[in-house]
Structure 1
């Protein structure tokens, strides 16, 4: 079983969970082997394996069930482009590691470095991990001090560089560029849904009746009646929507028709789609709140584009090589990793004294209850 003690908060901040348990078995690997080079920097298999196993644990513990599978079976599933899920995740992990080294190599350009406090916290976290875990567990995840410290160094610098790499973009966005309009629309569906969630398509006669209702809505709203009130009388609902010319939901033809209006209050004709009928009414040529939100989004997009552009530039200027034979030694299918969380909290007893309690711990299938108890005590220290 692998544990991060409660002192390892820096690990959580760096994207590594607070505690892990390892199931399965793994052969010994040479953690000093070079799995990749990024310019003059060498990525050791120990660092790559540690990062991979922590990520693997998150997938197997939290995502496998949502995907309708198990941790053992998920890695052989197809992920598209003739890749298994394991191959896809490992490709992403290696690219992330390469980027972390690239960012570290350019940290001095942005006057970014680790403080003495950060270095001490990293060393303490690695030492706590080393103290709390068995040699077998550390061998499985390459949980040795030098590998953990190197990974946390990279992760901390990456976090500190994030805002620096996004600085300096143009934050001015005009109303014209960000303009968001507003409409109300009514959707007349060609299907009905019962209480059990079963859907039934309307008959041709029912669809014709629905078209009559939709046309009635158009006529009455054009005559000055409120679209929400009329929709409710017809057993329908009027929805509010902000949009621009690039919007596609709920229906592209509806968006295009309302976007073409130049006067607030204009109403579309009945718009027929495969799944039903739409009627829309333009309520605002410039929705202030939605437009301001779009401005914020545009600025964030510019920052992200600058960040991505810098990484792409650095990658193009740097010789990056991966030793696939070494990287193949990290295999998810045969070695499972399950995340557990051990939290120590102080509770008050009936006599007013306080007790420490540990919650959320679990054990691997191969661990005895005695080993689990010892590990939980270790995590609470």
Structure 2
């Protein structure tokens, strides 16, 4: 449980108040807080002799904290940070380490901050300082220079991520990615657990009843009824699902017996019999022997996998060669006794004119470009 005297730090964020800075949306405002900034200037990371301040890590963490609080706070309450505080810090430090190492190698890819980048970062950092009260800024150790440093690191990481994977082959043939899509309904025979936590195993008679229902669905669908109507007539608690797979997939979620039966079907056909697996009884229908939408999605996944592999290959070599040290004792000083939260629109007191002036058509493109390489950048 969180401390009784835990203070609440309000973080105001609205759609109109987003600052799009070279692919990074970063807006943080807060209410009345207290905090200790005595560690702010201490080095929490040393990379090949270059030191990174505690405050830089703290600012990054507090923004992550506010985002997580917005998404999960209502569900987990005081347990959120007792459960996920340490893992959140660990993930954030891995991200910061990656940013610093990428920055160290930016010249190898001719990556740098443009004058426009620097201008946007300066404006965003100033807006951040203007939108937060002094108590909040002090609790994070935030100065304009430190906030700008965080923004610089995010921007360089996005640029480097794009540069590293720029020469990845994005040509994927239809044969390589071709996907089939089946509709199916399953009558599960898996063991369950009752309200007291006891294991419940179906009897042979119960399994036989499920098989009979599956057969009714199969017969109705084969007779011309839609899968949805066939299922509804037998058991209105069941739903029809769909899944896609390809002959060249490296792994499958579908049982081999289901794939083998599906591969014999043409579009719209229903399998001749109910398929029995360890999980239950399946009724399947071939929706499309070639699904263009699923194939396009598969192509994107293949390209992203190539990019992720290329990024990992390059970054892992740099990481192995880096002389990196982290002050774990100092990291423990970053706690979650105070809660940072996203505020509602009504709570926001920030003006929108100066914020909106930092947004332009290119910022959306930059954000999307950064998102496309996120999986490549998110190596451990």
For 1:187, the equivalent position in structure 2 comes to: 186
Provide the secondary structure at the position in 2 that maps to 1:312: helix
User: Do 1:35 and 1:327's aligned partners in 2 also have CA atoms closer than 8 Å?
Assistant: yes
Question: Which structure exhibits the higher relative contact order, with contacts defined as CA atoms closer than 8 Å and separated by 6 or more residues?
Answer: 2
Cα pair distance change 1:228/1:56, threshold 3 Å: same
For 1:76, the equivalent position in structure 2 comes to: 82
Greater alpha carbon shift after TM alignment, 266-275 vs 3-12: 3-12
For 1:59, the equivalent position in structure 2 comes to: 68
Task: Say how many residue pairs are matched.
Answer: 327
For 1:163, the equivalent position in structure 2 comes to: 162
* 1:247 maps to 2:252: yes
The 2-side partners of 1:228 and 1:3 are apart by 49
The higher radius of gyration belongs to: 1
Shift of 1:304: 2.1
User: Do 2:43 and 2:54's aligned partners in 1 also have CA atoms closer than 8 Å?
Assistant: yes
Provide the secondary structure at the position in 2 that maps to 1:36: strand
Provide the secondary structure at the position in 2 that maps to 1:64: helix
> 1:298-329 CA deviation, whole Å, 9 max, x = no partner?
11221122223222121112111101122222
Task: Indicate which of 319, 337, 340 corresponds to 1:337.
Answer: 340
Gaps in structure 1 of 5+ consecutive residues: 78-84, 192-199, 342-358, 363-375
* 1:305 maps to 2:313: no
The 5 Å alignment of 1:137-216 reads 137-188=136-187, 207-215=207-215
* 1:41 maps to 2:50: yes
Greater alpha carbon shift after TM alignment, 5-14 vs 46-55: 5-14
Shift of 1:256: 3.5
Runs of 4+ with >6 A deviation: 1-8, 200-204, 377-381
Gaps in structure 2 of 5+ consecutive residues: 1-9, 191-199, 355-380
The 1-side partners of 2:127 and 2:232 are apart by 67
> 1:34-64 CA deviation, whole Å, 9 max, x = no partner?
1011224211112111111222222223321
The 5 Å alignment of 1:257-272 reads 257-259=260-262, 261=264, 265=269, 267-272=271-276
What is the CA RMSD across the aligned residues, in angstroms? 3.7
Provide the secondary structure at the position in 1 that maps to 2:89: helix
Shift of 1:15: 4.1
Cα pair distance change 1:306/1:12, threshold 3 Å: closer
Larger relative helix fraction: 2
Task: Indicate which of 322, 337, 346 corresponds to 1:360.
Answer: 346
Shift of 1:254: 5.1
- TM-score normalised by structure 1 residue count: 0.72
